[in-house]
């Protein structure tokens, strides 16, 4: 039997359906309706309410962050994270080309520029070896500040992304960023529940960002979260994302340029209910990944991507590495023609019109992976 047909049959069987199998859809199996009804009954649907506070507290406890601050979206949270670590106009930010566009959009909002560095094949995330090599060849420290020798711009931050929920090599990234005095901001949008050496992703850098978009492991409809180890910075984040109003019973005084990035209480209510089931969701997703791994063991020229060593991954999106670009195109065509939703990795940032003029390090692994990655249906199985 043709391999692609075998795979499509297996996925229909896995999801116990002969109908369309989506890539990643939300599951509501708990207190969602109850909490939403409470918001409406109490009229607390908007910018303040107990679910906002509870969701922040619950997320801080769950991730081990000192402080967690909700945002309207993961993209907004990334924007705030970069601003809060001091990224300014014309600064450079080291990041990967293999990411969702939000990472690059966020730094562009500030007027900063990306420098695209390669990823590792065993994590799909930013390679500390490649970061180190680029810095050694292209950067210098002057009075403790890192500059790009050819552009003269300051290299202010580094944003690794934990691709499809798999943690990047965080110890090494922390180390290289410390050596070069570069701020580490983790785009942990996809990696809620994923651990690196037992510690939650998003808590290694100065700031970490999580997304609760509808296709992520848990959702608030739309939303994001900032994770801080520095409580003061977290308090500043809360202030700035809520219009920077000086607390007072009736006066309207603001002491910063503020943003209306606060998450409404109804979204936070959804988040609280979803978070109550995250353990089950991730167990379920890991079982699905184990089923895929077992199935693909006997299929030639196809590698099922397994979590990096010393990591516990949420397997947000299951991933195959195919033999070549032709196999990738054939696979995408066949599966999508046969009611199984699959997709390639995002078009590389370094190839998008807005970002293709920026420096990169050759992106060898990145381009190799872009020709071979496909994502498989990964929703929690009911």
Q: Which of 95, 123, 148, 211 binds ligand PLP (CB under 6 A)?
A: 211
Q: Quick one: which of 125, 118, 235 has its CA closest to 171?
A: 125
**In a 3-state reduction of DSSP, which class is residue 265?**
helix
Q: Which residues contact 73 (CB under 8 A, 6 or more apart)?
A: 211, 213, 222, 223, 224
- The DSSP bridge pattern shows strands 155-159 and 145-148 to be unpaired
Judged by CB under 6 A, how many residues of this single chain contact ligand PLP? 14
- The phi-psi region of residue 244 (left if phi > 0; otherwise alpha if psi is between -120 and 50; otherwise beta) is left
- Tabulate helix, strand, coil % of the chain (nearest 5): 35, 20, 45
Q: Tell me how crowded residue 359 is: count the other CB atoms within 10 A of its CB.
A: 18
Task: Restricting to residues 92-121, name those near ligand PLP by CB under 6 A.
Answer: 99-100, 102-103
Q: Mask: binding to ligand PLP, 180-209, rule CB under 6 A, as x and -?
A: -------x-xx-------------------
Q: Rule CB under 6 A: choose which of 104, 161, 272, 275 binds ligand PLP.
A: 161
Distances (CA, A) of 347 to 105, 294, 329: 14, 29, 14
Nearer to ligand PLP, 10 or 358 (CB): 358
Pick the closer one to ligand PLP by CB: 75 or 328: 75
The distance of closest approach from Cβ of residue 215 to ligand PLP in the complex, given in angstroms and rounded to an integer, is 7
Nearest-approach distance from CB 74 to ligand PLP, in angstroms? 3
Q: Which of 26, 74, 128, 271 contacts ligand PLP by CB under 6 A?
A: 74
| Interface pattern 224-253 for ligand PLP (x via CB under 6 A) | x-----------------------------
Provide the binding-site residues for ligand PLP, judged by CB under 6 A. 73-75, 99-100, 102-103, 161, 187, 189-190, 211, 213, 224
């Amino acid at each position: 039997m043709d391999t692609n047909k075998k795979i499509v049959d297996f996925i229909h069987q896995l999801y116990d359906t002969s109908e369309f199998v989506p890539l990643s859809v939300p599951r509501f199996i708990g207190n969602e309706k109850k909490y939403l009804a409470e918001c409406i009954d109490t009229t607390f649907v908007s910018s303040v309410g107990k679910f906002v506070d509870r969701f922040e507290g619950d997320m801080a406890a769950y991730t081990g962050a000192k402080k967690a601050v909700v945002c309207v979206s993961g993209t907004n949270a990334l924007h705030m994270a970069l601003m809060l670590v001091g990224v300014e106009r014309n600064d450079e930010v080291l990041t990967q080309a293999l990411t969702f566009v939000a990472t690059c959009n966020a730094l562009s909002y500030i007027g900063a520029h990306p420098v695209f560095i390669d990823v590792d094949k065993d994590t799909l995330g930013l390679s500390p070896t490649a970061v180190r090599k680029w810095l050694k060849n292209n950067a210098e420290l002057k009075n403790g500040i890192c500059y790009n020798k050819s552009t003269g711009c300051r290299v202010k931050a580094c944003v690794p992304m934990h691709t499809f929920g798999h943690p990047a090599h965080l110890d090494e990234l922390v180390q290289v960023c410390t050596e070069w005095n570069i701020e580490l901001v983790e785009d942990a949008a996809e990696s809620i529940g994923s651990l690196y050496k037992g510690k939650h992703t998003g808590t290694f850098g100065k700031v970490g960002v999580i997304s609760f978009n509808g296709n992520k492991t848990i959702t608030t409809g739309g939303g994001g979260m900032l994770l801080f180890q520095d409580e003061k910075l977290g308090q500043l984040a809360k202030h700035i994302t809520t219009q920077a109003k000086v607390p007072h019973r009736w006066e309207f005084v603001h002491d910063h340029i503020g943003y209306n990035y606060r998450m409404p209480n109804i979204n936070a209510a959804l988040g609280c209910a979803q978070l109550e089931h995250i353990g089950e969701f991730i167990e379920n997703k890991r079982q699905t990944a184990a089923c895929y791994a077992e199935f693909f063991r006997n299929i030639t020229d196809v590698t099922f991507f397994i979590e990096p060593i010393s990591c516990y991954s949420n397997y947000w999106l299951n991933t195959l590495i195919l033999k070549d670009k032709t196999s990738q195109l054939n696979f995408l065509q066949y599966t999508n023609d046969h009611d199984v939703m699959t997709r390639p990795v995002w078009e590389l940032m370094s190839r998008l019109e807005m970002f293709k003029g920026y420096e990169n390090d050759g992106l060898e692994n990145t381009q190799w992976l872009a020709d071979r990655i496909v994502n498989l249906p990964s929703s929690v199985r009911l």
